[in-house]
């Protein structure tokens, strides 16, 4: 279990301090109390405090004055202001000074608990994001995940980014192929120039040629002025051609010429414009099958496929669902309950990361600021994780501190043990069959059996 979070409650009324102290302890926090701002500052300077809950009206030093003093000590310590009814303007002023949230008297203790939970979650996400931004390599821009497939992908990006070689990115829809292309660009010597993305499937064929190559004034009806194409716009930088197999065959021939000769001609013109661009293409199809089906020119395939990167499906990225969920929910300052996380980790995600983001956006709306629970998720996701959710609920019931949720690593451990046991039972103890059912290698299964001391 994680160490208890310390909440400092500041109020000049003894009865209120005592009530807050008891309530915070019952909610699973370590509680500190202070009778005024001066005592609160002394505690903050001498002890580790994770969140401050302070009354607005106190003798000697008001809640606003205390907040201002705290911000000189720490810019990120969560601070929740307790105001009276009708003091909206004061609450707004507190938010401007850096308060995490405010609640109005009289309030339900559940309201306070939710406010604290949100403030702590937001603070943690902010801290982790700051660390990642400071620590990550430029090539990891936007790529979230620490699973083995993602670490391998990031390493390959580092290797190919400095080169000019064309890159073909393959992977299912929604896996983040454009993010990979952007990461390549950011990690390359071209990162001071433009990254230009074109979705070949989203632009009608009769318009795509003009979009890519540009046109001269009068090149066709409606061409009332010269247009700079995406190739020219990306000069010195990177051009990303998404869904390359949806590009018409005759345009693929023109693309091949640009790649081979490094020049482009606008529609209606005869000027050859020399370009220095790196082309990165992507497809959600099997490229060799696309060649057989006549959707991709074979010579273009070999020209694009100098270096191939695979964007892994979300179901192959063990452990990354929690990281991605944390990233998406940070935008909405929402939190995720353990049971809901278990459901997300059990689901197959046919729509991959894009589907996960949409599900979480919907869930955050339905939860109304409270922690997201399974009831806020689509029915098919909840149904897919029923056995796993039961396992986590049992673990929660057996926990010595019922008021606290399991940490994400602990919940993941409980889920893995349950699924392994279920698979072994279903396969009558045959570990090779169980590993296949779990979609992991037999070696990984043996490792987990030893790790969790399962028989």
Residue with the larger pLDDT of the pair 52 and 444: 52
Encode pLDDT of 62-119 as tens digits. Answer: 999 999 998 887 777 899 998 887 778 888 888 888 888 988 888 888 889 999 999 9
192 Cβ neighbours under 8 A, 6+ residues apart: none
Tell whether the model's pLDDT for residue 236 goes beyond 50. yes
Tell whether the model's pLDDT for residue 126 goes beyond 60. yes
Tell whether the model's pLDDT for residue 402 goes beyond 60. no
Q: What backbone phi and psi angles, to 5 degrees, belong to 79? A: -135, 125
Q: How confident is the prediction for the chain on average, in pLDDT?
A: 85
Between 41-50, 140-149, 327-336, 346-355, the lowest mean confidence (pLDDT) is in 140-149
Domains of the chain: 6-134 (3.40.50.2300), 138-312 (3.40.50.300), 316-451 (1.10.8.60)
For the chain, the residue count is 455
The radius of gyration of the chain's CA atoms, rounded to the nearest angstrom, is 28
Residue with the larger pLDDT of the pair 289 and 269: 289
Q: Are 356 and 362 in contact (CB under 8 A)?
A: no
Q: Are 178 and 309 in contact (CB under 8 A)?
A: no
Q: What backbone phi and psi angles, to 5 degrees, belong to 420? A: -65, -45
Half-sphere exposure (Cβ direction) of 335: Cα atoms closer than 13 Å: 20
* Tokens describing residue 363: 């869930």
Tell whether the model's pLDDT for residue 130 goes beyond 60. no
Q: Which band of pLDDT confidence, cut at 50, 70 and 90, is reported for residue 421? A: confident
Query: Cα separation of 427 and 302, whole Å?
Result: 44
For the CA atoms of 107, 27, 375, 368, the dihedral, rounded to the nearest 10 degrees, stands at 30
What is residue 2's predicted lDDT score, i.e. its pLDDT? 44
Tell whether the model's pLDDT for residue 356 goes beyond 90. yes
Q: Which band of pLDDT confidence, cut at 50, 70 and 90, is reported for residue 138? A: very low
Tell whether the model's pLDDT for residue 281 goes beyond 70. yes
What is residue 395's predicted lDDT score, i.e. its pLDDT? 52
What is residue 415's predicted lDDT score, i.e. its pLDDT? 77
Between 144-158, 192-206, 225-239, 275-289, the lowest mean confidence (pLDDT) is in 225-239
Between 207-211, 256-260, 267-271, 395-399, the lowest mean confidence (pLDDT) is in 395-399
**Region 2-8 average pLDDT:** 78
Q: Largest alpha-carbon pair distance within the chain? A: 86
Strand order in the sheet with 278-283: 195-199, 238-242, 278-283, 167-170, 307-310
Encode pLDDT of 292-340 as tens digits. Answer: 999 999 999 999 999 999 999 999 998 899 999 988 998 777 888 888 9
Q: Are 348 and 381 in contact (CB under 8 A)?
A: no
What is residue 155's predicted lDDT score, i.e. its pLDDT? 95
247 Cβ neighbours under 8 A, 6+ residues apart: 200, 208, 241, 255
**Region 366-375 average pLDDT:** 90
Tell whether the model's pLDDT for residue 121 goes beyond 80. yes
Q: Which band of pLDDT confidence, cut at 50, 70 and 90, is reported for residue 362? A: very high
């Amino acid at each position: 279990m994680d160490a208890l979070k310390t909440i400092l409650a500041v109020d000049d009324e003894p009865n209120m301090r005592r009530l807050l102290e008891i309530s915070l302890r019952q909610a699973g926090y370590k509680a500190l109390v202070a009778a005024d701002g001066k005592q609160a500052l002394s505690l903050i300077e001498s002890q580790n405090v994770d969140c401050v809950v302070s009354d607005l009206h106190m003798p000697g030093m008001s809640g606003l004055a205390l907040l201002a003093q705290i911000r000189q000590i720490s810019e990120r310590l969560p601070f929740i202001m307790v105001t009276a009814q009708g003091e909206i303007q004061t609450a707004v002023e507190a938010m401007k000074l850096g308060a995490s949230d405010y609640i109005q008297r009289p309030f339900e203790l559940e309201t306070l608990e939710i406010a604290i939970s949100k403030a702590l979650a937001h603070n943690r996400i902010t801290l982790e994001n700051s660390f990642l931004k400071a620590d990550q390599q430029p090539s990891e821009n936007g790529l979230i995940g620490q699973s083995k497939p993602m670490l391998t992908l990031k390493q390959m990006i580092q290797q190919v980014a400095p080169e000019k070689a064309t890159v073909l990115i393959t992977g299912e829809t929604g896996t983040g192929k454009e993010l990979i292309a952007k990461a390549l660009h950011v990690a390359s010597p071209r990162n001071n120039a433009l990254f230009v993305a074109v979705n070949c499937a989203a632009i009608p064929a009769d318009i795509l040629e003009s979009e890519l190559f540009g046109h001269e004034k009068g090149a066709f009806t409606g061409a009332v002025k010269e247009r700079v194409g995406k190739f020219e716009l990306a000069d010195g930088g990177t051009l990303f051609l998404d869904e390359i197999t949806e590009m018409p065959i005759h345009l693929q021939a023109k693309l091949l010429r640009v790649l081979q000769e490094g020049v482009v001609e606008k529609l209606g013109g005869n000027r050859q414009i020399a370009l220095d661009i790196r082309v990165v293409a992507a497809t959600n199809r099997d490229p060799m099958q696309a060649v057989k089906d006549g959707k991709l020119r074979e010579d273009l395939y070999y020209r694009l496929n100098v270096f191939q990167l695979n964007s892994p499906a979300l179901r192959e990225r063990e452990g990354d669902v929690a990281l991605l969920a944390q990233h998406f929910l940070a935008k909405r300052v929402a939190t995720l309950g353990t049971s809901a996380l278990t459901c997300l980790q059990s689901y197959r995600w046919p729509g991959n990361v894009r589907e996960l983001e949409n599900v979480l956006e919907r869930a955050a709306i339905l939860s109304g600021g409270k922690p997201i629970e399974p009831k806020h998720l689509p029915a098919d996701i909840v149904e897919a994780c029923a056995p796993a959710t039961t396992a986590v609920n049992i673990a929660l019931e057996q926990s010595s501190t019922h008021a606290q949720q399991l940490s994400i690593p602990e919940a993941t451990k409980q889920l893995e043990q349950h699924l392994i046991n279920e698979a072994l039972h279903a396969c009558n103890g045959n570990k090779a069959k169980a590993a296949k059912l779990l979609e992991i290698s037999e070696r990984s299964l043996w490792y987990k059996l030893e790790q969790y001391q399962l028989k």
